[in-house]
Structure 1
Amino acid sequence: MDLFGDRLYQALEQSEPEPGMLLVSDPIDGMGGVFPRSILLLLEHSDTHSMAVVLNQRSDVAVFNVLPAWAEIAAKPPAVFIGGMHEQRAVSALGVLAKGVPMDDHPDMLRVANRIVRIAMSEDPGSVAHMLEGVRIFQGLHFWGPGELEEEIAAGEWYVTPALPSDVLTPGNEDLWVNVLRRQPMPLPLFATYPEDIGDN
Structure 2
Amino acid sequence: MNALAPGMLLVATAALTDPNFADTVVLLLDVGDDGAVGVVLNRPTGVAVDDVLDGWGSVVAEPVVLFHGGPVGLEGALAVAQVPLTGDAAAGAGLRPISPGLALVDLDQSCEALAGRVTALRIFAGYAGWSAGQLEDEVEQGAWYVVSSRAGDLAREDTSGLARDVLRRQPGELAWVATRPVDPGLN
Is the 8 Å Cα contact of residues 178 and 193 (structure 1) preserved in structure 2?
yes
Question: Which AA in structure 2 matches 1:23?
Answer: L
What is residue 53 of structure 1 aligned with on the other side? 39
CA distance in 1, matches of 2:12, 2:186: 20
The reply to whether residue 182 of structure 1 matches residue 182 of structure 2 is no
The reply to whether residue 123 of structure 1 matches residue 113 of structure 2 is no
What is residue 160 of structure 1 aligned with on the other side? 146
Deviates more, 1:103-112 or 1:64-73: 103-112
Following superposition, the deviation at residue 194 of structure 1 comes to: 2.4
The reply to whether residue 150 of structure 1 matches residue 132 of structure 2 is no
1:71-110 to structure 2, matched below 5 A, reads 71-98=57-84, 100-103=86-89, 105-110=91-96
Deviates more, 1:104-113 or 1:72-81: 104-113
Q: Residues 92, 173 of structure 1: CA spacing in aligned structure 2 closer, same or farther, 3 A cutoff? A: closer
CA distance in 1, matches of 2:99, 2:149: 8
Deviations 1:13-69 (A, max 9, x none): x11101111111114635x12231111111111111211111111111111221131
CA distance in 1, matches of 2:75, 2:13: 27
What is residue 10 of structure 2 aligned with on the other side? 23
Following superposition, the deviation at residue 90 of structure 1 comes to: 1.6
TM-score under structure 2 length normalisation: 0.91
Following superposition, the deviation at residue 195 of structure 1 comes to: 3.5
Deviations 1:117-159 (A, max 9, x none): 1101112111112222121010001111111111101101111
CA distance in 2, matches of 1:18, 1:99: 18
Question: Which AA in structure 1 matches 2:16?
Answer: D
Q: Matched residues, percent identical?
A: 30
CA distance in 2, matches of 1:94, 1:189: 27
CA distance in 1, matches of 2:121, 2:90: 18
Structure 1 residue runs of 5 or longer lacking an equivalent are 1-13
Q: Residues 196, 79 of structure 1: CA spacing in aligned structure 2 closer, same or farther, 3 A cutoff? A: farther
Q: How many residues align?
A: 187
CA distance in 1, matches of 2:90, 2:135: 32
More helix by share: 1
What is residue 180 of structure 2 aligned with on the other side? 194
Question: Which AA in structure 2 matches 1:24?
Answer: V
SS at match of 1:42: strand
Deviations 1:152-180 (A, max 9, x none): 01101111112112110111265110111
TM-score under structure 1 length normalisation: 0.85
CA distance in 2, matches of 1:104, 1:131: 7
Q: Residues 42, 193 of structure 1: CA spacing in aligned structure 2 closer, same or farther, 3 A cutoff? A: same
Q: Residues 19, 125 of structure 1: CA spacing in aligned structure 2 closer, same or farther, 3 A cutoff? A: same
CA distance in 2, matches of 1:179, 1:164: 11
CA distance in 2, matches of 1:89, 1:161: 29
Q: CA RMSD in A?
A: 2.0
